[in-house]
Structure 1
Amino acid sequence: MIHPVPGQNRTPSMTQEPTTSYGSTAFDADVAIIGYGPAGVTAATYLGMQGVSVIVLEKDADLYSRARAVTVNDWTMRIFQDFGIDDVVKRDMDIARALTWKTYDKKVIFRLGFTDGGLGHAPSYMIYQPDMEREIRRNAERFDSIDLRLGHSFTGMTQDADGVTITAQDADGADYRFRVRNVLGTDGGGSKVRKELGFNMIGQTRPRRWLVIDGEVTKWWPECNELVFWSDPERPVVDIPLAKGNHRWEIPLQEGEKDSDFDSEEKVWARLKMLGIDESNARLKGWAFYSHHLRHLEAWRGRHVTLVGDAAHLMPPWAGQGMQSAIRDAQNAAWKYALVAKGLVGEDILDTIQSERSPHVEMMTEMAKQLGFLIEGDDPILIKLRNTLGPYVMHLPGLSKKMLPTTATNRFEVGWVTGLPQKNNALGRMIPQPEVYATSGIIHRLDDLLGQGFVVLGLDTDPREAMTPDQVSGWERLGARMVTVVASGDSRSDADTIVDHTGTLRRWMTKYGAKVIVLRPDRFVAAADPTGLDVPPARGNLEYAAEPTSAFPQNLREFARSLRANAPV
């Protein structure tokens, strides 16, 4: 439900009698979401799908018109599939083929292709963010439990033992307040929710300032469909073909240059013409200035409030993972918030949002840093070494799988699982998504056939037969569906059987020694028969798990180290 425009049915002012009072146990909604960017709409959508009441505050009355993110991958697309909009958003996307590093004399010094991750979608897509956001927002309008208040600003909050009283200002400037059980802060790098909690980010901001130019292609120029990192010590440039004929250039300002030096189209064009692009090739749509941050919170949660996305962590753009990490954070948080709102799990489960997501965010940040080394390196010796070794290194077999995110890196070690995730078990791993058959003979992608929520999969057996009555009732209380996985040679007709005709699920489960696994709503494994099929406690394995180890592939780090270590003295 979209809140009325200014001047219509104004929300209660604080000068009027509020609907609830501070400390009251009456609530206007289960959850408040502050910020309605990609993370906010992701969280709101999942909660809306579950019928959980949500109030969303978004200070901007209209969708932000500038593109920020440039890509999504198969994991993010799987989330959109869960919302039923993957085919819709794909219409406005182009499949990405490779990342290429070149010098201005057109020498290719490094290239990474994308490999199929087994998640049911292409490994990478180029997007035009405003169009993508418009579609996911439109989809969220279907849910009556979402009270979306565009043009309403978050101004403060007070927490007590039972919930949170939020103060806000509507689009007409009238103050009001409302009360919720829990709050999700998705309000970006300048988060007011974070400031209200008194949380401070640690880390650094890179001194180099970047001019980011968005344009629309009007006439093809050579290889304008290729994503290129122009690797030059003086003026590295990121040259990005976006979807639907849009294009982006990211150009660093030089020492002594200021944002105000580019205050007109004429001055921006002068910089693009240095790249061989002029008014005959493109139409400018706008430009902005950015600094690259490597910052994060040490704690994401403060009592009834959790921060995710850029409100909790900031990374450089080189790996294209900033917005996507925010979307994944929001999905992880939303299904847990839904369980809490329904009284199915205690609030302590919210502690597992950070424990599960933070290691992957750190991995993506490290990846961005190392890819940035290939782009921004300015040491002449290292540049020579990079340009000499890169063309040979890029031909190593399987390099892309080891240097870019894959299904194998979509995992966690500490969180809401029964037992300890290890290399030889399925816990904390995302299950692949092959095509499978229903017993009616119709082929589906796995998630479409399983549906939403929890699912217990039994390989060649009804999973109930491997579980105790308490385990069955525990998972069924959470709404779990019991499903048998069989090979195409079996004869079955019941609705709770899927036919794994490619053998993908069988190979994956057998690899980790599992005959029965429990899938969470985000398609990570919560429990498996070798490690125990009980429903995890609210805090999962947080009480006894060791600190998570880095899941970041060593190859890129070692490549960067080798460049430094082997540099001539």
Structure 2
Amino acid sequence: MKTTQDTEVLIVGAGPAGLMLANILGMYGKQVTVLEAMDTLIDYPRGVGLDDESFRTIQTVGLVDAIRPHTNPQHIMRLVNGAGKVMLVNNPQTVEFGWERKHGFIQPEADKALYEGLSRFGNVQVLFGYRVENVEEDGQSVTAIALVSRPDGTIEERRFSAQYLVGCEGGKSPTRKRLGVSFEGESPSTRWLVVDVNNDPLGTPNVFLGADPKRPYVSIGLPHAVRRWEFMLHDDETEEQVTDPDYVNALLADHVPNPAELDFIRRRVFTHHGRVASDFRKGRQLIAGDAAHLMPVWMGQGWNSGMRDATNLGWKLAAVLSGQADDALLDTYTSERKDHAQAMVDLSLTFGRLIKITNPVGAVLRDAASSVLNLFPQVKSYFADMRFKPMPRYTRGVLADPNTRESGSAAAKLTSKLIPVLTANVKNSPVGVQFPQPRVNSRDASDQLLDDAIGNWWSVIVWGNSPKDVLPQSSLDKLSLLGARLVAVVPETQREWAQKHMDPDVMVLGDHTGRLKKWFDDRPTPLVFLRPDRFVAGACLTQHAPETLDAILAAMKFTPAGAVTDAVAVPVAL
């Protein structure tokens, strides 16, 4: 008789998005089974860029110490023309979210750390060699039928039942195909040869994008002395031809004195894709990572976009599974993530077109334009600080509009006629964007990152005052059911006084860097409702707080009968 193994969430694919989602759900105490068709994790280099948003998620699940050794922080990118002249530099200095904006990294090592991190959770298992052949779904559950090879060579069928299934199997995702959603976009015909070597013969620790009209290329310095080159291929060059060692050595001859002496890791041809699924969820099945979107490599956002998916989806699944929220909360996963994934795909495609110009006249015009633009400090800073990268801003989802307190949407601008709004330095609404992560002092720790202080679930942050002093009891009762932490942020000079005089249930944080003071000084929103994924669900004047909270709970499909303790857990460090 065939037996069925039960779990809460079934993740298909042990790639980065699936492994991070499993870590987040494991942290929240949820039962997870990961099924991977391969026998092991992929061990060759793929993605090479890791950003600050991803590192913030890595911090949340307690894996910074495991992944940090495999990164190059402050990874500088230089766009150079065919003569080697630098046309623009991308070197953002911000640490707005607590970490450097850009890192080079070794993906196999990072993925391995995500996998090994799952050993902390007795409620999570990863099964290799399990190929999902079919999925059955009804109104209460979803069941995956998987095939696995037995030691005697026979094939065994295994069944796994869960409340939800998340497909993280990559660009050819069978889950996405089962859902019947479109995968819209383009796959440019341009092919590229990737060459990875050990014992980096150049030693430059950053990135060169070579906009050479004769043959565009990329040269990337990575941790552990790994060097990557990528060369654009001409239409008449076959894959067999360009992966031949002698041919590769000829391509590398302009970059190193003696290519034949290099320690090669791999030579592989690939094609860029720019596609986004029309929907990330149908019924009890969802998709994440490359299964939901594929993007060209130019902005280094493929791995990071998968991390954003896991960060957005993880807490929502935890809330639904714990009974805190209705199943409809999961619909906000698509409404919040799809537009930003599309924006990153579009930007990557545009950047690629700039680099891939092979027409000599077009290349000259591009180079001349870049020289002129670099004369303007604001334009130069626009590229250097990476302000061209669209940061996620949710306008629909688990939000409350700061102007109208409307539930489920948020305008990008503050439009109130109150004097605090009219005199604000920043007119952009903080709702729907990530809250910054400066360092703070608390009763228990000094100079710690904000997220480490406030924990991994909902928080209410008030500048200069106690949430218990500005919120009515009815709102405090709802926040208690939500499991939200009450936080007061004060200048460091006031912290000890506040700790003595404020309610002991309120966490008092000292702003010793002044960064939080500036954030609140620029915005007329002294009270912030912060989601588990560190996005601002609501920000308002304290008198608008009860109405704002009710709008957020409605957008979340909050069910007060849910068990708070099931949804909240503290991550276990390696």
TM-score category, normalised to shorter length = 0.7 to 0.9
User: C-alpha distance in 1, partners of 2:148/2:551?
Assistant: 43
1 or 2, which has the higher helix percentage?
2
List gaps (5 residues or longer) in structure 1: 1-15, 21-27, 542-569
- Give me the CA root mean square deviation: 2.2
Instruction: Identify if the C-alpha distance between structure 1 residues 104 and 407 changes in structure 2 by more than 3 Å, giving closer, same or farther.
Output: closer
Q: Are the counterparts in 2 of residues 426 and 509 from structure 1 also a CA contact under 8 Å?
A: no
Equivalent residue for 1:81, pick from 59, 70, 73: 59
Secondary structure at 2:299's aligned position in 1? coil
Shift of residue 181, structure 1, vs aligned partner: 0.7
Deviation digits for residues 64-90 of structure 1 (CA, Å, limit 9, x no counterpart): 011111011111111111111223311
Deviation digits for residues 307-339 of structure 1 (CA, Å, limit 9, x no counterpart): 121111111110100110011111111110011
User: C-alpha distance in 2, partners of 1:436/1:215?
Assistant: 42
Structure 1 match to 2:549: 533
User: C-alpha distance in 2, partners of 1:407/1:523?
Assistant: 19
Shift of residue 440, structure 1, vs aligned partner: 4.9
2:456 aligned with 1:431, yes or no?
A: no
Q: Are the counterparts in 1 of residues 457 and 532 from structure 2 also a CA contact under 8 Å?
A: yes
User: C-alpha distance in 2, partners of 1:354/1:273?
Assistant: 47
Equivalent residue for 2:140, pick from 162, 172, 180: 162
2:23 aligned with 1:17, yes or no?
A: no
Secondary structure at 1:288's aligned position in 2? strand
User: C-alpha distance in 2, partners of 1:441/1:399?
Assistant: 41
User: C-alpha distance in 1, partners of 2:302/2:24?
Assistant: 20
The residue type paired with residue 271 of structure 1 is L
The residue type paired with residue 413 of structure 2 is K
Structure 2 match to 1:181: 163
Instruction: Identify if the C-alpha distance between structure 1 residues 147 and 538 changes in structure 2 by more than 3 Å, giving closer, same or farther.
Output: farther
Mean Cα deviation higher: 257-266 or 332-341: 257-266
Q: Could you state the TM-score of these two structures normalised by the residue count of structure 1?
A: 0.86
Over the matched positions of the two proteins, sequence identity in percent amounts to 29
Deviation digits for residues 134-176 of structure 1 (CA, Å, limit 9, x no counterpart): 1121112111111211111111111111121111112433112
Instruction: Identify if the C-alpha distance between structure 1 residues 400 and 343 changes in structure 2 by more than 3 Å, giving closer, same or farther.
Output: farther
Deviation digits for residues 499-544 of structure 1 (CA, Å, limit 9, x no counterpart): 0122222222342311211111111111223461226246559xxx
The residue type paired with residue 534 of structure 1 is D
The residue type paired with residue 381 of structure 1 is V
Q: Are the counterparts in 2 of residues 347 and 538 from structure 1 also a CA contact under 8 Å?
A: no
2:24 aligned with 1:46, yes or no?
A: yes
Structure 1 match to 2:293: 313
Structure 2 match to 1:422: 412
Shift of residue 112, structure 1, vs aligned partner: 2.1
Structure 2 match to 1:243: 223
User: C-alpha distance in 1, partners of 2:46/2:512?
Assistant: 41
Q: Are the counterparts in 2 of residues 98 and 113 from structure 1 also a CA contact under 8 Å?
A: yes
Question: How many residue pairs end up in the alignment?
Answer: 517
Secondary structure at 1:338's aligned position in 2? helix
User: C-alpha distance in 1, partners of 2:350/2:108?
Assistant: 29
**Pairing of 1:465-484 with structure 2 (within 5 A):** 465-484=469-488
Structure 1 match to 2:467: 463
The residue type paired with residue 446 of structure 1 is L
Shift of residue 123, structure 1, vs aligned partner: 1.5
Q: Are the counterparts in 2 of residues 412 and 421 from structure 1 also a CA contact under 8 Å?
A: no
The residue type paired with residue 512 of structure 1 is R
Instruction: Identify if the C-alpha distance between structure 1 residues 32 and 535 changes in structure 2 by more than 3 Å, giving closer, same or farther.
Output: farther
**Pairing of 1:54-453 with structure 2 (within 5 A):** 54-172=32-150, 173-217=155-199, 220-221=201-202, 224-276=204-256, 278-279=258-259, 282-394=262-374, 396-399=376-379, 402-403=382-383, 404=386, 409-419=391-401, 420-424=410-414, 425-440=429-444, 442-453=446-457
The residue type paired with residue 368 of structure 2 is T
Deviating 4+ runs (over 6 angstroms)? none
Secondary structure at 1:154's aligned position in 2? strand
Q: Are the counterparts in 2 of residues 115 and 400 from structure 1 also a CA contact under 8 Å?
A: no
Shift of residue 380, structure 1, vs aligned partner: 3.3
Shift of residue 282, structure 1, vs aligned partner: 2.8
Q: Are the counterparts in 2 of residues 527 and 534 from structure 1 also a CA contact under 8 Å?
A: no
The residue type paired with residue 103 of structure 1 is N
Q: Could you state the TM-score of these two structures normalised by the residue count of structure 2?
A: 0.85
Shift of residue 234, structure 1, vs aligned partner: 2.8
User: C-alpha distance in 2, partners of 1:281/1:398?
Assistant: 44
Shift of residue 472, structure 1, vs aligned partner: 2.0
List gaps (5 residues or longer) in structure 2: 402-409, 415-428, 558-574
Shift of residue 484, structure 1, vs aligned partner: 0.8
Q: Are the counterparts in 2 of residues 186 and 309 from structure 1 also a CA contact under 8 Å?
A: yes
Instruction: Identify if the C-alpha distance between structure 1 residues 109 and 460 changes in structure 2 by more than 3 Å, giving closer, same or farther.
Output: closer
Instruction: Identify if the C-alpha distance between structure 1 residues 527 and 401 changes in structure 2 by more than 3 Å, giving closer, same or farther.
Output: farther
User: C-alpha distance in 2, partners of 1:518/1:537?
Assistant: 11
Shift of residue 226, structure 1, vs aligned partner: 3.6
User: C-alpha distance in 2, partners of 1:488/1:207?
Assistant: 57
Q: Are the counterparts in 2 of residues 165 and 179 from structure 1 also a CA contact under 8 Å?
A: yes
Instruction: Identify if the C-alpha distance between structure 1 residues 123 and 174 changes in structure 2 by more than 3 Å, giving closer, same or farther.
Output: same
Deviation digits for residues 194-215 of structure 1 (CA, Å, limit 9, x no counterpart): 1222223122110111111111
User: C-alpha distance in 2, partners of 1:408/1:462?
Assistant: 34
Instruction: Identify if the C-alpha distance between structure 1 residues 307 and 140 changes in structure 2 by more than 3 Å, giving closer, same or farther.
Output: same
Q: Are the counterparts in 1 of residues 60 and 456 from structure 2 also a CA contact under 8 Å?
A: yes
Deviation digits for residues 549-568 of structure 1 (CA, Å, limit 9, x no counterpart): xxxxxxxxxxxxxxxxxxxx
Q: Are the counterparts in 2 of residues 108 and 391 from structure 1 also a CA contact under 8 Å?
A: no
Shift of residue 292, structure 1, vs aligned partner: 0.9
Q: Are the counterparts in 1 of residues 195 and 267 from structure 2 also a CA contact under 8 Å?
A: yes
Q: Are the counterparts in 2 of residues 156 and 196 from structure 1 also a CA contact under 8 Å?
A: no
Shift of residue 113, structure 1, vs aligned partner: 1.9
User: C-alpha distance in 1, partners of 2:236/2:555?
Assistant: 51
